[in-house]
Structures are given as structure tokens and as C-alpha cells.
Structure 1
Amino acid sequence: MRLTDYLDKGADLGPDAPCLRMDGRVLSYGQVQRFSHRVARGLGRAGIAPGDKVAILSGNDPTAFACVFGISRAAAVWCPINPRNEARENAELLDGTDCSLLIFHSDYARMVERMLPELGKLRAVICLDRALGFAPALEDWLAGVPEAPVDIAPVDDLVMLPGTGGTTGKPKSVMLTGRNIEAMTALTLMGYPFPKRPVYLAVAPLTHAAGVLCFPVMAKGGEIEIMKGPDLGRFLELIAERRVTHTFLPPTVIYMLLDHPGLDGADLSSLRCFWYGAAPISSARLAEALERIGPMAQLFGQTEAPMMISMMPPADHRRPDGSIRTEKLGSAGRVAPLVRATIRDADGAVLPVGERGEICVRGPLVMAGYYRNPEATAAAIRDGWLRTGDVGFLDGDGFLHIVDRAKDMVITGGFNVYSIEVEQALQSHPAVQDCAVIGLPDPKWGERLVCVVQPRPGRAVEAEALKAHVKALIGAVKTPKEVHAWAELPRSKVGKVVKPEVRARLLAEAAE
């Protein structure tokens, strides 16, 4: 399946059915399909050949997402660019992917102007919504281009070049193939509940998980309601108004939703699958979400193996009697049917059930490699197995538990302490909204365990009480020696806490 096939499948099920909707504007499957033919022809007229790279830089926008299918129909490769990145990082990604053409929204015109001197491989820049001095408007650029069907044969199976997060160094571009997206789509439809025509509310960035989750929805002829940003009051209204069946939010935004005054009065009866992922979630807050929101559904993956390494549908969150399956809430669900997962030690030996080591996966979900970076590819994929960099274990029921990122383990007093375990204990305290646990150099312990907590609105954090809370749950060795409270934690562009920034700030404060 090419990316266009998901759109065309939806059009086969009903060309007049709504496909993309935002702020009252509705594009049917047929309209998106015809638009994609025009974009493909426009790209061809501009000299874009099969295999060339075309980037989109935009916030959540129906026209921007519709352009993805024009890129695919031209047999070009979609490069999703995160508008939350700094201009320098995006310029590195665009240049590193040999990008030939950039389509962007005028909201990011200044960023594009700053990047252009660094992007000598670009042949053209096109503005989605209006003409600018250095870029024509998309509709002007498409003037005279017919809607007549076009279907250009691809040169290979490469369909996407998303960038890695960049929190561990220079970002890399991941080669995702049509086979990867097909496997992800199949697993999504196989593992989660879907009505005949789902309604998906996309509020998280379409450049990330929220975007690729559109493909299984389109394969069912479903409707995609797009929000520009996380207005949680409007989010709750739209679930009721549009009878939303599926949505996705990262844990940080779910915590905000749980504290929203409109949650308990909202009509969420249409929801069948409320996905969460992209970062660890507090078991305590997840249990609260199950009671107050309903059908929560976890997914675990990474850019190199998108979305569905393991899955935890709503039913797996509860026991047969309907009670919450508290003992599994800290897991990432069961390994997906089309994925193999093993736990390995530093030498690559497979570890038995219950033992902790690096999570390694293989199967059709795993990327083809990093674009023009054979050294990084060889380090990440060994003997066909992707080394995820995550430490975890498999339990006797086949549930995958992610203990930590390998680089985030703290060795204190000779004991290995996994930060996620400590963070789960901290997040079970009613005053804690979110937190980060790191190790800092210590002359006695080697590393001392330090936590930074973000209090819940209107709550105060008392350090000794919080330490006592953690000690009672997981013992003295895993109890932080220091507790700091910050109004906000530093986050990446996708909402993950950036621990190197936490560490740098704490070290700087200690040096003052």
C-alpha cells in the first residue's frame, strides 16, 4: 500500500463522505482525492521526479495534510517537518534529506526565510495559504493544473522521512517504507476497536503520531476532525458534537485534561478508543482516566518502528469483572502480533522472562534505516533486530514493561535504579502533576537520586512528605535524596521531559 491507497480506499467506500474537517470547513474523500491529483501534477510540472523529497512545514491544517497524498501520488517522498523545532534543526533535517521542494504555512514564513540560505538543494518553496514575496500561494502555483487522475510508479518503497527527536544529539532522518506504514495500519485495525466509519479527533501534531493514525481511519472511510492546538474545552465539545470515536493525546496533555473543570460534565459516550503514548504515563493518573474518561488505549513505538511495537486496547485495562487491572497499568501492553520482541543483555544474549535488558524488535514495522547514515543504521539494527535503547522486561502474561531509557538508569550506592519506577511512585502522590528523576554526581553514592516535580494546580509539594511517600512504596534506596519543585518542566517538541536540560539546570544551580 502506498499512502494514496488509504485515501483511495476511503473514497471507494464513499467519495462524498467527509474526510477532513476543521473549523466548519469540510473536504470530502472525493475532493481530497481530486486535489491530490492536482498537487501530483503540479509537482511533476515543477520537475519533481519519483523518489525526490518534498517537505511540509505547517501546523495542523487540512490542506497541508491533503498535500501528503499529492506527494505520494507523484511517487515522491514526504518529509514531515515539526514546526515546533528551531529553524536550525529544521534546516539540518531538510538539507540532510536532500529536500527538493518545501510547502509551508505562512505562520512559519519567518522560519523559512531564516532557513533558505542553508537550503541550496531546494528548487521551490510554496506557501499554503497566501502569496509571499519569496513564495507563490499554493493555489496560484497550481493554476491551470487539471484534476485528471495521475498515478506515477515509485522508484522504491520509501514513503516518509520523519526526523528523530534530536534530544540525544543531531537528529537523524528515518526511512519509513510503505511496508512499515501498512504493518502499522494493519496492527491498528487488528488491535483496537473500530466502528464501520470511525470519527477521529486529531489534536496532537499531524507531523507525529496523530498524523500516521489517520491512515487506518481513512482505510475505514472515517472522518478526521482536525484541531489546530490543544484547546481542551473545545476538545471536549467536539467529542460530543462530532460523536468522536477515536483520539490521541500524550500523557502530559491527559494530565491537563484530568484537571480541566469541564471534564466530568462532558459527553464522552461516543468514545471507543482514547489512545495515549509518546511518553511514560503515571499509573495513578491512568487509573483516574479510566474512571473519568473511559476507554483508554496505549500504544508503544518509536520513529524507527512506528506506533505499534506493543498495544494495550481498552479491554486489556480491565479484568473480566470490569475492575481496573491495576497490576498491568505500568506496562506497555502485549507485543503486537506482527512484531517479535526479545530482551537482551549488553552482549546481545536473550534474557528469560522477568529479567531486565534492552528491548529489541524485528518485523515489518522496523525502518529501512537512517537516511544516508549507514553507521547509525548499523548501530541500531544488528542481525535484523532493532535495538530500541529502552530497558524493559516481559512478564509471564506476555506484557511488555518499559523500565527506562538505557541512558537514564541511575547507579547509586552500587544499586541500579530505574528512573521510571521512581517517577511512577512520585506521580501517585496527589500533589504531583509530573516529574523527572535523574542522577547527579555524589562523592559518597557515586550518583545521588534527585527529582524535580511539577505540582498540580493549586497544590504545594512538601519535600519530606514526598520522600516518605516514595520510601513507603519502593524503599529507601529508590527514594530521592533531593526534591525540587518547578512550575514547568522542560519538554521536547512532542511533550517529553528533556532530562539533559533538567540535569544542566540543577548542576548550574548547585554551582552558584
Structure 2
Amino acid sequence: MDAITFQAFLFTSLNKFDRQPALTCVETNETITYKTLREQVDAAASQLVRLGVQVGKRVAVLIPNSIENVVYNLAVSRCGATVVPLNDKLGMKEIEFILRDAEPQVIIMATQKHIASVLSYQQEIGKQTVTVVGVPGFGIDYPEEFYRMKIEHKKGCDVFPDASLDDVAILSYTGGTTGTPKGVMHSQRGFGASLMASCMEYPYDDRDKVLFCTPIIHAAGVLLQRSLASGCHVYIMKAFHPQQFMQIVQTERITSTFVVPTIIYRLIDEAKQKNYDVSSLRNINYGSSPISSERLKEAFEIFGPIFRQQYGMTECSIVIARLTKSDHFFAYEHNLEVLKSCGKPCMLTQIRLVDDKGQDVQPLQPGEIAVKTPSVSIGYYNRPDLTAEAFQDGWFFTGDIGQFDEQGYLHIVERKKDMIISGGFNVYPAEVERIVNQHSKVAMCACIGIPHNDWGEAVCLVAVLREGETCTKEELIEFCKQRTASYMVPKEIIFETSLPLTMVGKIDKKALRKPFWEGAARLVN
């Protein structure tokens, strides 16, 4: 079978369904069918074409979880353009950086807190070059510089631009050890392969009801597209609330969902307080961060043998490795250590573990995880240096240190990259350190991840104050809250008189982390 574009795969799939409900917004109880979804997407795409959106153009979409989020993201893809998905939970500084790096020609937005950042970008680049579309229905008073777009239910373009296999389908931003987000480019060929691989790994049909409560531009986004490709009824929550989540599962007879480990912990606590009928659930997919095997065992006893774990990265979509429902059942019955793994390689994925010289390590020995898959990114936008470092001879070098056990399960034991995963979100220590070092009382600091029962890892800051200065934890926390996203704000602050250094004079973060991870089998939680 010849490769097909993401655009062709997705919209051919959507055309198979008409009367079935496609999307429901939980908070508003609004539901649209697949026929209406296609009509709205075509109407929005027609207006985007009139604004100059076509193949090769970059369109940033900054909309909270909603039906509109799905419609406008699909509309950009309908035009064959490049989607730049932006998380509405990002801070203003992160949004400003991404806009200046990606240089989108069109921005579609529906968030109040980012208006100043977007307007500043538009004024900097020029209104003739950048069009900002304000989506109605979110109670936002947009500046006069923004274009108001209302989806009109009338005949749209007869023909939309067709993307080619090598065109960039999505430019998705992730972070790294430098603290600045990197634009990950996925071609139409690769993202189409990702959607196909996801369909194989996660079999759904048009009778499934799938609930999403995490940001749908995050890891959930690929699974959402995969759900629509099979005609599922997709339910979208604007934000996660455990009681509301359980009530929806019970009343709507939800069959599948995607969560992160911290949400599983909240659901366990909610299920202990009140009895819910969750017997309709057949799949609880989880990922984005490691999970406590003890808490997962507890969840298994409440929800049954319906858990599937996925290990993926933005650079490889979500199809690197997975722990199946059968794997979970085996672990529950025979070996709980299996629950600490991220499973075995997915169908279309090859995994190698390599040493610092790029050579395969010996069996059962740890090494950096290198991945080869048709879904792999084509590189980092405007960063040929990072691209050359991470993508070599068809392999993507993840920066995660993994180890296969005797049964072939892949365990992540440490991160080569200096990154913290807290509650499913990537936290970049260098960025936290950059902010804290701006405080007039701080001489130097180091940011590390420490174990946390709910978040997996908590952001911990070790700070050295300037001589003669005094400062409280609350003061530093408030300082950070005003300057970055909430999930990057330190949960724990420790004041020291000095920081340990390596032989070459760098802050020794391994030494800082060691007391918190004593006795742990791995250096992630």
C-alpha cells in the first residue's frame, strides 16, 4: 500500500459517518453529528482559504478544550496547511516564544489571558502579515485588530488544497534541556502513519464513546483524531473534575478514556468515597508520565483489567511502546514489577538501547532508547543542530535511558535529558532556574525532580541566597507564579548555603537528587 497523507487519511475516514454523534462538549451539553462536523470544518476552512491559508502556511490554534478546538484544528488540516497547536495552559512567556519561533501567518484563538501576547506579536510582525482570528462564543472582547470569524452553514469551497507527503502537517512544540521549546515537525507522510499505527494499536469502532479530560493538543490529541477516524462519539471536558468525570462515565456509558497517572489517583480517591457504576468502561489508556505500581494495582482492583499504557514522545507521536491489558493482568497476578515498565515495542516501531558511542548495549544492560518508526518526526524547526544530534540514520535518540528485562519489557530508569515530568507536563529545569535567578535575593539555584505520590515528580528548587539576604519559600513561589505556567512553579523549595559541584565546576544535580531517591529502583517516579 502506498503511503497516504494525514489529510487524506483523516478526511476519507470522516466521510464514512453521517448521523452518528461525533462530539459532545460536557459542560455545555452541545452535541454535533459527523455530518455537522464536516459542514462546520468545511465552512471554517473556506474562510481560512479566503484569508490566504494554504499548503505551506503555518496556522497557530490557541483554543481551550471544546468543539471549536476540534473544528478549527481540522479546518487547518483541511486546507493542507501546517497546524501549530498551542496549549491554553501555557504562560504568556512560553506563548510569546513559540509565536516568534514558529512565525505563524494566522492565529486562531479563544483565550483571554493570551490576548496581550498575541496582539504584541501581531503588532511586531505587522497586521498585513499576521491575521489573528478571534473565535466567538467564549465571552472574550477581542481587540479591533482581530478578525472575527463565525462559522456560517453554507456551501464552502468545492475543492480544498491537497497536501503532499512531504509537506509539514503539524508543528508541535515540546521542551528540552535548554529550557526553550523546540518545534517538532511531522510530515503528512509521518503523521498519516502515526494515525494508522494508532488505529492498529487502539482498536475502536463507531459504537465506542471516548471521554477526554486532558488538553486535547497534548498526548490526548492523537487518540482523539484516531477516535474520529473510527466514528466514535467523543466527549470533551474543558477541565478534569473527578466527580464530574465519574458521573459522565456512569450516565453516558463511556467505553474508553485517556488519562495521566495523577488523574487515576484522583479517580481512585473519588471511587472510594462514592459508589459509581463504571461497568461500561472497556479501556483506560494512560501515559505521559510513569506511574506508581502500587496505585495502579489499587486502580486495577476498582476498575478491572482494562488498563493500557502508552509510551511516546512528541517526536514519535504516541507509538513507541505499550503495556497491554493482558500485560497488566499478568502483572497483577504474577509480577507487579511489570507495571513499572512501559511495555513492549509497538507494531511499527523498532527500539535499540545504545551506549554513548551509539553502539548497542549488552542484553539486560541500560542504554539510551533509540527509536525507528514511520511516525518519527522529520526534525526540529529551524534547529539543524538539534536535528542532527537527535535524528541519525533513521533513528531518533530519545534521551531516555531504558533497560529491557528478561521478559522483553522496557523499563525507563533515568533521563539523559535534564527534564522533569510532573502530572504529565514537561517541566524544563533551566527555564525555572532562569526565572528564579532573576530574583534579587538569589545567588544561584538548581531545579530537580523529586518523588511525589500524586504528580509522579514534583518540581523542587534548591536555592542559595545572596550574602546577608533572607527570603521565604512563599516569596519565591509567588515570584514564580507571576512569571511562568502553574505546573512549572516549584512545589518544594530548599535553602542551602552552597550547591555541590562536579569536577568541571557544574552544579552536580545527581548529588542533589540522590537523598530523595535513596532506595528507589529507578530515578523517575
User: Residues of 1 paired with 2:177 and 2:30: CA distance?
Assistant: 36
Counterpart residue type for residue 213 of structure 1: L
Distance apart, 1:247 and its partner CA: 1.0
Tell whether 2:118 aligns with 1:112.
Answer: yes
Tell whether 2:410 aligns with 1:405.
Answer: no
Q: 1:37 to 1:110 in 2, by over 3 A?
A: same
User: Residues of 2 paired with 1:325 and 1:493: CA distance?
Assistant: 41
Counterpart residue type for residue 103 of structure 1: I
Tell whether 2:223 aligns with 1:220.
Answer: no
Partner of 2:11: 8
User: Residues of 1 paired with 2:212 and 2:256: CA distance?
Assistant: 9
Higher RCO (CA < 8 A, seq sep 6+): 2
Tell whether 2:389 aligns with 1:382.
Answer: no
Distance apart, 1:116 and its partner CA: 3.6
Tell whether 2:130 aligns with 1:123.
Answer: yes
Distance apart, 1:117 and its partner CA: 3.9
Partner of 1:471: none
SS at match of 2:118: helix
Out of 101, 113, 119, the residue aligned to residue 96 of structure 1 is 101
Partner of 1:150: 159
Q: Deviations over 1:407-434 (max 9, x none)?
A: 469xxxxxxxxx99xx9xxxxxxxxxxx
Counterpart residue type for residue 49 of structure 2: G
User: Residues of 1 paired with 2:159 and 2:235: CA distance?
Assistant: 27
Out of 329, 346, 350, the residue aligned to residue 356 of structure 2 is 346
Distance apart, 1:318 and its partner CA: 1.2
Tell whether 2:31 aligns with 1:26.
Answer: yes
In the TM superposition, 1:436-451 aligns within 5 A as none
Counterpart residue type for residue 155 of structure 2: P
User: Residues of 2 paired with 1:392 and 1:493: CA distance?
Assistant: 31
Counterpart residue type for residue 118 of structure 2: V
User: Residues of 1 paired with 2:486 and 2:257: CA distance?
Assistant: 17
Partner of 1:297: 308
SS at match of 1:266: coil
Q: 1:119 to 1:223 in 2, by over 3 A?
A: farther
Distance apart, 1:319 and its partner CA: 2.3
Tell me if structure 1 keeps the 8 A contact 2:43–2:153.
no
Tell whether 2:84 aligns with 1:79.
Answer: yes
Tell whether 2:313 aligns with 1:310.
Answer: no
Partner of 2:240: 230
Distance apart, 1:267 and its partner CA: 1.6
In the TM superposition, 1:84-483 aligns within 5 A as 84-108=89-113, 109-120=115-126, 122-129=129-136, 132-134=142-144, 135-139=146-150, 146-155=155-164, 156-165=166-175, 168-260=178-270, 265-294=275-304, 295-319=306-330, 323=333, 325-407=335-417, 452=450, 454=452
Q: 1:177 to 1:198 in 2, by over 3 A?
A: farther
Q: Deviations over 1:248-301 (max 9, x none)?
A: 111122222222256661221111211111111111111111111231110001
Query: More displaced, 325-334 or 5-14?
Result: 5-14
Q: 1:402 to 1:52 in 2, by over 3 A?
A: same
Q: 1:5 to 1:264 in 2, by over 3 A?
A: farther
SS at match of 1:161: strand
Tell me if structure 2 keeps the 8 A contact 1:55–1:103.
yes
Query: More displaced, 90-99 or 191-200?
Result: 191-200
SS at match of 2:186: strand
User: Residues of 2 paired with 1:300 and 1:496: CA distance?
Assistant: 21
Query: More displaced, 379-388 or 191-200?
Result: 191-200
Q: 1:118 to 1:391 in 2, by over 3 A?
A: farther
Q: 1:305 to 1:455 in 2, by over 3 A?
A: closer
Counterpart residue type for residue 361 of structure 1: V
Q: Deviations over 1:315-336 (max 9, x none)?
A: 211129x726413111000111
Tell me if structure 2 keeps the 8 A contact 1:362–1:384.
yes
Q: Deviations over 1:147-166 (max 9, x none)?
A: 35432122533110010135
User: Residues of 1 paired with 2:454 and 2:158: CA distance?
Assistant: 54
CA RMSD of aligned residues (A): 3.4
TM norm structure 2: 0.76
SS at match of 2:246: helix
Distance apart, 1:451 and its partner CA: 8.2
Distance apart, 1:42 and its partner CA: 1.1
Out of 48, 51, 71, the residue aligned to residue 46 of structure 1 is 51
User: Residues of 2 paired with 1:258 and 1:207: CA distance?
Assistant: 25
Query: More displaced, 36-45 or 77-86?
Result: 36-45
Counterpart residue type for residue 284 of structure 2: F
Partner of 1:445: none
User: Residues of 2 paired with 1:221 and 1:494: CA distance?
Assistant: 35
Figure out how many residues of one structure are paired with residues of the other and give that number.
Answer: 441
Query: More displaced, 400-409 or 23-32?
Result: 400-409
Tell me if structure 2 keeps the 8 A contact 1:73–1:150.
no
Unaligned ranges ≥5, structure 1: 410-418, 424-449, 458-483
Partner of 1:462: none
User: Residues of 1 paired with 2:81 and 2:198: CA distance?
Assistant: 25
Partner of 1:426: none
Q: Deviations over 1:205-246 (max 9, x none)?
A: 011111111122112111110000011111111112222121
User: Residues of 2 paired with 1:386 and 1:452: CA distance?
Assistant: 27
Counterpart residue type for residue 341 of structure 1: I
User: Residues of 2 paired with 1:12 and 1:165: CA distance?
Assistant: 36
